[in-house]
Structure 1
Amino acid sequence: MKTVVFSLFLLLNFSAFAQDDCLLGIGGKDDEVIAEVFQLNDEQQEKLRNWSAELKIRNGILKEKADFLIKKHEESSIEELLKVSPEYGNILDSMKQNVRMMDKRLLATLNPKQYEFYMELCSKLTLRPIYIDRSVDEK
């Protein structure tokens, strides 16, 4: 029971924090929607597929670490859980950073019209868009 409450507490904090950025959600079940909404060309779609696969691997490893940590401490006292919670939080932060990194990669491939559309969507959702420095070309 303690583990469930602890996990829920951390997940809620992670979710609330994640809502500030306007994330595309690469690697989720909506990759096709992303491709359709932004009218990605073939090259962009290929990169989206590759980055989505990479994200699933990266975050899969982190999820295994988080699951192991929870399982290891499922019978721990509240005090011990409080000591372990920063480590669990760091894992969640790393997962969020991975999501943001993949989104940023895709955003860097968008043409000016596509990126402007992204900015408009974020504005309508009152979320902070991810800034892309167009002076640096990662290609």
Structure 2
Amino acid sequence: MSLFSIFTVAGSAMTAQNQRLNVVASNLANADSAMSSNGEPYKAKQVIFMSTQPEAGIHASGANGTHGVKVASVIEDQSPMKMVYEPSHPMANKEGFLTMPNVNVVEEMVDMISASRSYQNNVDMMNTAKTLLLKTLTIGQ
């Protein structure tokens, strides 16, 4: 792996983690919503990552190109919806239960911390690679 491909890998990871953070924010924002924009209870979403194809060509070492990461899809969580007993709510069913989103706030907060730390690690990796490249340029002076 060349030092320059680190920027490609870290950049793709930062883009994927940014999308993950957006999904977590959407889940948290809708955690207490009785109805989404389509008229049904909001369903939590999850991000699925996948490896990207290697860069074209073979490097001097003979190894194949580097892989990055991208968001393959954003899927709806299939866990059951929460049923809350609120007979006075206008959207409650005949038994007095209100269907609420299947968002687990604790899990979403953990996911948010994980995504933000991963993003920061990739920023640090890019800064380290930049520093190494700059120091490499000063070797001949």
Same topology, TM > 0.5: no
TM-score (norm 1): 0.36
TM-score (norm 2): 0.36
Structure number with higher strand proportion: 2
